[in-house]
Amino acid sequence: MSLSRSILMIINLLLGVCRAQNPATCPLNREHDAYAGNVQKLADDKTQYLASLNNNEAFLSLLHPIMIRRVPGTTNHALVRKHIIDTLESYEWTVETDDFTSKIPYVDEDMNGQVPFSNIIATWDPRASRRLILACHYDSLYQNRHSNFIGATDSAVPCAILLDVARTLTPYLRQQQEVSINVLNKSRKN
C-alpha cells in the first residue's frame, strides 16, 4: 500500500472515529454546520486518484532538511523552522509564528532552564470562515549531549507529510478561491 493511500485511510478513520463514538455529541454533527453528517466513504476510483497525486521525489525533498537533530534553541532547530516557513511561503500560504520560552526540567548542564520554542501557523486564506488545521511538532527530543536522536517517525516525517499535503492541496485551493471570486463577481453584475 502506498504512503498516500495509507495517509488517506488514516484521515478517513480519524473523521469516522468521532462520529462512531457518540454521533449525538460529535462536532461533525453540529446542526448549524452545512457539512454535518455528509462524511462518506471515498469511492475506490477517487481514492486511487488522490493516491496518484503522490510524488515521492517531492516528499523526500521536503523530508531531507528535517531529518537532523532539532533540539529547541539549537542552530538545527532554527534551520528546520526556516525550511518549514520558507516552504509554506513558497506555496503562498500566510505564515505567522508564536514564539515563546518555557522552563524545562533539568536534563543536564547543556539543556536546562528557559528554552525557546516556536509554533508555526500557516493559513491558506486567513479570511475564510472555515479552515483545515494540520498540526505537528518539529522539534526532536533532547536525551543528552551524546545522543543523536533525530525523531524521524515522531516529528520529521509527520512534518514532511503536512508540507506535502500543503504542496498537493495548494493548486486545488487556488482553483477554489478563483471559483469563489468568479461567483461573487457574477452575482454583482446581475
Q: Determine the Cα–Cα distance for residues 120 and 110; give it in Å rounded to an integer.
A: 25
**Residue 4: C-alpha distances to residues 37, 55, 61, 140, 161 (Å):** 25, 9, 16, 24, 9
Paired strand residues for 108: 111
Q: Tell me, yes or no, whether 112 lies in a domain.
A: yes
Q: pTM score, two decimals?
A: 0.71
DSSP secondary structure string, 103-119? Answer: EEEEEETTEEEEEEEEE
Which tens digit of pLDDT belongs to each residue from 115-140?
A: 888 889 999 888 888 787 777 888 88
Give residue 112's domain range. 54-189
Helices (H), the chain: 3-21, 44-52, 56-63, 75-90, 157-189
8 Å CB contact between 7 and 161: yes
Q: Tell me, yes or no, whether 20 lies in a domain.
A: no
Q: Tell me, yes or no, whether 33 lies in a domain.
A: no
Looking at residue 157, its pLDDT comes to: 92
Q: Tell me, yes or no, whether 85 lies in a domain.
A: yes
Total of domains in the chain: 1
CATH code where residue 59 lies: 3.40.630.10
Q: Tell me, yes or no, whether 31 lies in a domain.
A: no
Say yes or no to pLDDT of 15 above 80. Answer: no
The residue that leads in pLDDT, 181 or 63, is: 63
